[in-house]
Amino acid sequence: MDQSLFFTQLHKGKPEWIPYDVALISDAVSDEFVHQLVQTEIKNPEKVIVTIDHDVPNSTIAVGAKQRMLIEWAVTQGIRLEKCQGIGYLRVLENNDLIHQVVIGTGQHMSGLGAAGALGITCSEEELLDYLKKGEVLLPGWDTRILSLTGTLSGGGSIQDAALYLLHHIHGGDYSQTLIFLTGDGLDACTRDELFDLCHWGHEAGALSIIGSNHMNIPAEDELSLHEVVPMVIKPDDSSVPCPLKEIMSPVSVQEVFIGGCRGGKIADLRMAASVLRNHKVKDCVRLIIAPATSSVYCQALQEGLISDFLDAGALIMNQGCSVCWGKAQGILDDGEVLVSTGSYHYAGCVGSKTASVYLVSPAIAAECAITGRLYESGKDS
């Protein structure tokens, strides 16, 4: 059964309680949530996965204590534990067949699991505790929209830029409680990691979730051409609306570059960055921080010589995990500094000082910034 038929049958136009297949609990939850969790009777512990991936190694005593409570609870309850193996979303994709699965969690990137044909639902901590008790999730009555991606990338942009272009296209639309399906010949050659990039912005777009599928039998209501994709950027505090990089009219001096996170730390992302950095040096005024997303990505990057390329360029290699994207422990910004990042957050104070600025770009653009020390469209006169 294809995804469109499966989720159309599931949808009945009104809220409905159904069993969930996987529940993700990460160390990004609050202390209060953990204290309530350890006193909660879980109905289906075999469906729960605890991931220690955000603040690793722990940056404070308090964080360490919270993580220890999560770990000990998981062990005593016989719950699957992913400890320091990398970003939870991507680890779940690596190790599970999620086709037609309903996956719940508090993370804002649950839509990324649509890359595997799953319905990723972001819920509040209060809702998650309730769902864990019941063994069911309350699905809203949703609308569906079909977006067809056509053509191939030919305008100098990458699949990361295509993801930002997609967000630019649908942002601000009335997509509340909407399940968006991506289809079309533009997806034909996409890997699972590339589909993750296209799907994971669902929360930012205001959609219920996004699912990538090459087997849709429903006509598309809208069409986007990948031919039109150019290098994109999300500017600081700009309500997550991407714009073409060429709209930055003068060079922005950069003090830190981060290549990592679930959006920029996959193996294809590291290959892209290494191809730009190879035989170049990081600008003296720039700190380049690179964090492979998962342990398997780290090992693959080592085997391919990418880690050596990064070290030769002058980068600092961090452990697998969320790293600077999480913004609480690694690569903290000083007042007025500028970070160019492949992470997912850019609000004031997300990586240190509230007077610092964060720009979100593709791995290729981030690598260029590390070499030049500025954010600007390649080829422009400064």
Is residue 101 located within the same domain as residue 201?
A: no
Task: Please state, in angstroms and rounded to a whole number, the distance separating the CA atoms of residues 226 and 175.
Answer: 22
Asked if the structure places residue 382 within a domain, the reply is no
Residue carrying structure tokens 């990042």: 341
Asked if the structure places residue 161 within a domain, the reply is yes
Cα-based torsion angle of the residue sequence 118, 123, 126, 129 in order, rounded to the nearest 10 degrees: 10
Is residue 31 located within the same domain as residue 115?
A: yes
Task: Please state, in angstroms and rounded to a whole number, the distance separating the CA atoms of residues 213 and 2.
Answer: 8
Asked if the structure places residue 9 within a domain, the reply is no
Asked if the structure places residue 278 within a domain, the reply is yes
CATH number of the domain to which 160 belongs: 3.40.1060.10
What integer best gives the mean pLDDT of the chain?
91
Asked if the structure places residue 235 within a domain, the reply is no
| Structure confidence at residue 156 as a pLDDT band (50, 70, 90) | confident
**Which of 177, 206, 230 is the last residue in one of the domains?**
230
pLDDT above 50 for 382: no
- Residue-wise pLDDT tens digits, 184-218: 998 888 999 999 999 998 888 888 889 988 666 67
Task: Please state, in angstroms and rounded to a whole number, the distance separating the CA atoms of residues 125 and 187.
Answer: 34
By C-alpha distance, which of 322, 139, 166, 154 is closest to 234? 166
| Structure confidence at residue 13 as a pLDDT band (50, 70, 90) | low
**Which of 69, 104, 136 is the last residue in one of the domains?**
136
Task: Please state, in angstroms and rounded to a whole number, the distance separating the CA atoms of residues 242 and 1.
Answer: 35
pTM exceeds cut of 0.75: yes
pLDDT (0 to 100) of residue 7? 63
Asked if the structure places residue 2 within a domain, the reply is no
Q: What's the Rg (C-alpha) of the chain?
A: 20
Backbone angles phi, psi at 325, to 5 degrees: -60, -40
**Which of 136, 162, 181 is the last residue in one of the domains?**
136
Is residue 250 located within the same domain as residue 368?
A: yes
pLDDT above 90 for 32: yes
pLDDT (0 to 100) of residue 215? 66
Residue 25 CB contacts under 8 Å (≥ 6 apart), including other chains: 37, 48, 49, 50, 51, 70, 105, 106, 128
Domain that holds residue 176: 142-230
- Number of domains into which the chain is organized: 3
Percentage above 90 pLDDT, the chain: 73
pLDDT (0 to 100) of residue 154? 84
Is residue 69 located within the same domain as residue 179?
A: no
- Residue-wise pLDDT tens digits, 321-359: 999 998 888 999 999 999 999 999 999 999 999 999 999
pLDDT above 80 for 380: no
Is residue 254 located within the same domain as residue 203?
A: no
Is residue 174 located within the same domain as residue 254?
A: no
Task: Please state, in angstroms and rounded to a whole number, the distance separating the CA atoms of residues 43 and 135.
Answer: 5
Residue 308 CB contacts under 8 Å (≥ 6 apart), including other chains: none
| Structure confidence at residue 128 as a pLDDT band (50, 70, 90) | very high
- Residue-wise pLDDT tens digits, 209-261: 899 886 666 788 889 999 999 999 999 976 678 999 999 989 999 999 999 99
CA end-to-end distance (rounded Å), the chain? 54
Is residue 251 located within the same domain as residue 362?
A: yes
Asked if the structure places residue 182 within a domain, the reply is yes
pLDDT (0 to 100) of residue 259? 98
CATH number of the domain to which 30 belongs: 3.30.499.10
Alpha helices in the chain (DSSP H): 3-10, 31-37, 61-77, 88-95, 125-134, 159-170, 192-199, 202-205, 261-264, 267-277, 295-303, 306-313, 363-372
Asked if the structure places residue 7 within a domain, the reply is no
- Averaged pLDDT for residues 165-194: 85
pLDDT above 50 for 155: yes
Range from 19-33, 176-190, 364-378 carrying the lowest mean pLDDT: 176-190
- Cross-strand bridge partners of residue 316: 289
Query: Are residues 371 and 279 in contact, defined by beta-carbon separation less than 8 angstroms?
Result: no
Is residue 29 located within the same domain as residue 89?
A: yes
Pairing of strands 80-83, 102-105: unpaired
